[in-house]
Chains A and B, each alone.
Chain A
Amino acid sequence: DTGVSQNPRHKITKRGQNVTFRCDPISEHNRLYWYRQTLGQGPEFLTYFQNEAQLEKSRLLSDRFSAERPKGSFSTLEIQRTEQGDSAMYLCASSLGAGSDTQYFGPGTRLTVL
């Protein structure tokens, strides 16, 4: 397994459009996380899945954002009615889930909203 993968790597969209990003975690990892990173800042937590269950959502995750992880494998993050403030790098991470353990990050999807 080559690690966490994310698609697309870059997305440019117009304000008001919907966008969807995909994350494929490391195959045996039960936990999956989404983060958002803006310029000059560290990544900020958005949401977390244990297998297919979404167990925690940050208050950063407005009602325009929705994430799914069907069958506990890949995950999608959808942003509806995008706004210019949504422009950021969206990072996905996964971990084994056996207590405190290491999170491994994907390369990210960079979103630009015009």
Chain B
Amino acid sequence: GIQVEQSPPDLILQEGANSTLRCNFSDSVNNLQWFHQNPWGQLINLFYIPSGTKQNGRLSATTVATERYSLLYISSSQTTDSGVYFCASENQAGTALIFGKGTTLSVSS
């Protein structure tokens, strides 16, 4: 089945810094999504991005499907950006999301 690997596992930033989170996947991607899990456990949708580039405010994401990776960019980070960021790809049957282990981001003021 599809394997999803995320890096780095942990990231510590000062407020205002920029960061790039990476997601590698082992097979052709379907329905690639990025999520932010807040400290209360809620998974918040950031991007649905099987290919190409999307931007939403300070966040943007790029997926290069032919090279099997996706990147999440966070610019001018804020303390509220702290939490765990997951990428997930739909399995081949289209019935489930396969998640990576996440990147834990800590932004300090």
Contact = CB atoms under 8 A, between A and B. Distances in A.
Interface of A: 33, 35, 37, 40-45, 48, 55-56, 58, 89, 91, 93, 99-105, 107-108, 110
Contact of A42 (B30, B93, B101): B101
Interface string B65-95: 0000000000000000000001010110111
Contacts of A37: 41
Contacts of A56: 93, 95-96
B42 interface: yes
Interface of B: 4, 30-31, 33, 35, 40-43, 45, 48, 50, 86, 88, 90-91, 93-102
A100 B90 contact: yes
A40 B101 contact: yes
A41 B99 CA distance: 9
Contacts of B88: 42-43
B50 A100 contact: yes
A62 B39 CA distance: 29
Contacts of B95: 45, 48, 55-56
A71 to B, nearest CB: 21
Contacts of A43: 43, 86, 88, 97, 99
Contact of B45 (A35, A55, A102, A107): A102
A103 B41 CA distance: 16
Contacts of B98: 45
